[in-house]
Chain A
Amino acid sequence: MVGAILCVTGIAVDYRAPLESANVNLYCGASMLVFATVMLWLARRSRS
């Protein structure tokens, strides 16, 4: 959920940090979504 919020924020709003010009929210949000997908896959695998 946090990953999704950060991705949407990164796409919809141009928040930038003083020392960092990259879209940190989008990159971190996307990474979290990948992490969440892996965790969900592991959870499903453990139940089957």
Chain B
Amino acid sequence: MRLAPVDYLILALYFVFVLSIGWIVKRKVATSEDFLTSGRSVPVWITSLAFIAANLGAQEVIGMCASGAKYGIMTAHFYWIGAVPAMLFVGVFMMPFYYGSRARSVPEYLKLRFDEKTRALNAVTFAVMTVFSSGISMYALGLLFELVLHWRFTSSVLLAAAIVLVYTFLGGLTSAIYSEVLQFFLIVLGFAPLSILAVMKAGGWSGIASRLPAVMTNTWKFTGHPSENPMGVEVFGLIAGLGFVLSFGYWCTDFLVVQRAMAADSMSAARRTPLIAAFPKMIMPFVVIVPGIAALALSHMAVGYSIPLKPGGGPDYDQTLTTLMAQIYPSGMLGLGLTALMASFMSGMAGNVTAFNTVWTYDLYQGHIRKHAPDAHYLWVGRATTVVGVGLSIATAYLATHFNNIMDFLQLVFGFVNAPLFATFLLGMFWKRATGHGAFTGLIAGTAAAAATHGLTLAEGKGGWLGTVLHTFPSTMAQNFWIAIFAWSTCFLVTLLVSLMSAPKAEAELHNLVYGLTKIPQEQVPWYKRPAPLAAIVIAALVILNVAFW
């Protein structure tokens, strides 16, 4: 792929914009809370778009397109089942506790609700995962631009990291949030035309459906048994594993996304953030997944496009998006598409670094190393941590060049940690009796159960490292869903049992932290600004989408 001057111009324009965002926001940063939590001052439409953009990294964009080509419209389950219901839940039920507790981070909420050891466990695991995740973003960026544009890996990584460092050092979380909103618009404007043009070229949805097996254009029809669909999943695993545990475990507890809602300028805005975000989230499959399905249909049409093959044979689905862009976009739009990918990688890094900042500064540094320093000191620590975070991300990117299964490893760890965490939050927010000992033990037990499930089962050659294989799953996806189910269930039961055997906190200490002891404000606002009606509209739209693509 060769870029024309107009492509470089668009890319340069993006760099200038994000650096300008950092420069403008810098003037508003006076305290550590301004830098690390945006001072809870961001308007709701910004936090809403940042909420989904924080999750919409380039690996997701490329990965979802690849999955669309490989699994068809069933991939939309990752959005319609695997994201939107959890987003509604966090907005309607959990945000009053997150925002109302005045906690500056998710681990800090755990400290207020439970105890310091539970906070420390979550803070450490989150900090480590965030830095690794940021590094993986950079690694994937370097690989992609080396493959597609023949840029040197080092140049891509260092250029992107330098720009991210500048604007996050200057403006902190607010810079990251506004750059994520920019990234969102770039993705929609950069890839929606690709989707439209590719579908038109393939003869519309009916043309696509006529050229592909029925399983590729139906979401639920072929989920009765794992052998019926290429994902190798069945309806219970899909709903319980993806739709409940993994989905809620991520969207309800991962500080990277929750932080965006917590930066909102009011309780009402914080609650509405994930609800408003659910609307574009429902539409995203048509932007990121449908191009992959259309690409597969075009491959069957002898129009001059086919999905590239791997050196050893078999389709290289990961190259679907970039090769489709190269065939359908002229120079100009091609530059916009690549800029959107670059923006996604960079925002992924910025989001992870700012989340890492907050957790390190408030939960680990202030919590354990230096507790009563002046605020200016924590602002300095936050800025220094930005530099360290970017440095660690670059180091991780290079580490990944030596261990190319590090992405799989990170996904696994996310699954091990997030699934039980949701059980902890569920019990913590809705059951007064849950205790710190229960929460801590439950998290450890849940993570251990996840590891044990992975070690005792096999899927596509992965797992089974405990020596005995008790079950073989048809796909790693099915394995991940069931790992999440076992992890969540174990954490839930152990937390319940240990809580009943240990002393709870006094109710006076649990105000604004748990259901029944939190006054949820009833604001006098129009119906379209209230959480319940918004959630009802989203649910109705979700049902329509699932039925339309049954």
Could you tell me which A residues sit within 8 Å of B by CB distance? Answer: 1-2, 5-6, 9-10, 13, 15-20, 22, 24-25, 27-29, 31-32, 35
B332 at the interface (CB under 8 A from A): yes
When A15-B4, A19-B201 are in contact, do A5 and B327 touch as well, CB less than 8 Å?
no
Complex Cα gap A5–B304 (Å)? 29
Asked if residues A2 and B10 are in contact (CB atoms below 8 Å), the reply is yes
B31 at the interface (CB under 8 A from A): no
Asked if residues B10 and A19 are in contact (CB atoms below 8 Å), the reply is no
Complex Cα gap A6–B7 (Å)? 10
3 A-B pairs with the lowest CB-CB distances in the bound complex, closest first: A15-B330, A25-B332, A9-B332
Asked if residues A6 and B327 are in contact (CB atoms below 8 Å), the reply is no
Q: Mark B378-419, 1 if CB is under 8 A from A, else 0.
A: 000000000000000000000000000000000000000000
Which partner residue on chain B sits nearest A8 by CB separation? B6
Number of residue pairs A-B, CB distance < 8 angstroms = 67
Asked if residues B189 and A20 are in contact (CB atoms below 8 Å), the reply is no
B525 at the interface (CB under 8 A from A): no
Q: How near does chain B come to A41, taking the closest CB pair, in angstroms?
A: 15
Asked if residues B193 and A28 are in contact (CB atoms below 8 Å), the reply is yes
**CB proximity to A under 8 Å, residues B265-303:** 298, 303
A24 cross-chain contacts in B, Cβ below 8 A: 193, 197, 328-330, 332-333
Complex Cα gap A15–B10 (Å)? 16
Give chain B's interface secondary structure class: helix
Which partner residue on chain B sits nearest A16 by CB separation? B330
Q: Mark B302-343, 1 if CB is under 8 A from A, else 0.
A: 011100000000000000000000111111111010000000
Asked if residues A17 and B336 are in contact (CB atoms below 8 Å), the reply is no
Asked if residues B333 and A28 are in contact (CB atoms below 8 Å), the reply is yes
When A19-B327, A19-B328, A24-B197 are in contact, do A2 and B6 touch as well, CB less than 8 Å?
no
B328 cross-chain contacts in A, Cβ below 8 A: 17, 19-20, 24
Asked if residues B305 and A5 are in contact (CB atoms below 8 Å), the reply is no
A29 cross-chain contacts in B, Cβ below 8 A: 332
Which partner residue on chain B sits nearest A19 by CB separation? B327
Sample 24 A-B pairs with CB under 8 A, ordered by A number. Answer: A1-B13, A2-B10, A2-B13, A5-B9, A5-B13, A5-B332, A10-B332, A15-B4, A15-B332, A16-B330, A17-B328, A18-B326, A19-B298, A19-B303, A20-B197, A20-B201, A20-B327, A22-B197, A24-B328, A24-B329, A28-B193, A28-B333, A29-B332, A32-B189
Q: How near does chain B come to A47, taking the closest CB pair, in angstroms?
A: 13
Q: How near does chain B come to A12, taking the closest CB pair, in angstroms?
A: 10
When A2-B189, A25-B330 are in contact, do A19 and B9 touch as well, CB less than 8 Å?
no
B303 cross-chain contacts in A, Cβ below 8 A: 19
When A18-B327, A19-B327, A32-B189 are in contact, do A6 and B333 touch as well, CB less than 8 Å?
yes
**Could you say which of B6, B10, B298, B328 has the most chain A C-beta atoms within 10 Å of its C-beta?**
B6
A25 cross-chain contacts in B, Cβ below 8 A: 330, 332-333
**Could you say which of A10, A19, A35 has the most chain B C-beta atoms within 10 Å of its C-beta?**
A19
Could you tell me which B residues sit within 8 Å of A by CB distance? Answer: 4, 6, 9-10, 13, 189, 193, 197, 201, 298, 303-305, 326-334, 336
Complex Cα gap A25–B258 (Å)? 37
A13 cross-chain contacts in B, Cβ below 8 A: 6, 331
When A2-B189, A24-B193, A28-B193 are in contact, do A15 and B331 touch as well, CB less than 8 Å?
yes
Which partner residue on chain A sits nearest B339 by CB separation? A2
Complex Cα gap A28–B236 (Å)? 42
Complex Cα gap A16–B327 (Å)? 9
**Could you say which of A1, A6, A28 has the most chain B C-beta atoms within 10 Å of its C-beta?**
A28
A35 cross-chain contacts in B, Cβ below 8 A: 189
Asked if residues A5 and B193 are in contact (CB atoms below 8 Å), the reply is no
B298 cross-chain contacts in A, Cβ below 8 A: 19
Complex Cα gap A5–B6 (Å)? 8
Q: How near does chain B come to A34, taking the closest CB pair, in angstroms?
A: 12
Asked if residues A17 and B329 are in contact (CB atoms below 8 Å), the reply is yes
Complex Cα gap A1–B327 (Å)? 25
B327 cross-chain contacts in A, Cβ below 8 A: 17-20
Complex Cα gap A17–B329 (Å)? 5
Asked if residues B330 and A17 are in contact (CB atoms below 8 Å), the reply is yes
Complex Cα gap A5–B331 (Å)? 12
Complex Cα gap A12–B547 (Å)? 46
Q: How near does chain B come to A20, taking the closest CB pair, in angstroms?
A: 5
When A17-B328, A19-B303, A20-B328 are in contact, do A5 and B333 touch as well, CB less than 8 Å?
no
Given contacts A17-B329, A19-B327, list 8 more A-B pairs with CB under 8 A.
A2-B13, A5-B332, A17-B334, A18-B304, A18-B326, A24-B193, A31-B193, A35-B189
Complex Cα gap A9–B327 (Å)? 18
**Could you say which of B304, B305, B328 has the most chain A C-beta atoms within 10 Å of its C-beta?**
B328
Q: How near does chain A come to B319, taking the closest CB pair, in angstroms?
A: 16
A20 cross-chain contacts in B, Cβ below 8 A: 197, 201, 327-330
Complex Cα gap A2–B13 (Å)? 8
A22 cross-chain contacts in B, Cβ below 8 A: 197
Q: How near does chain A come to B286, taking the closest CB pair, in angstroms?
A: 16
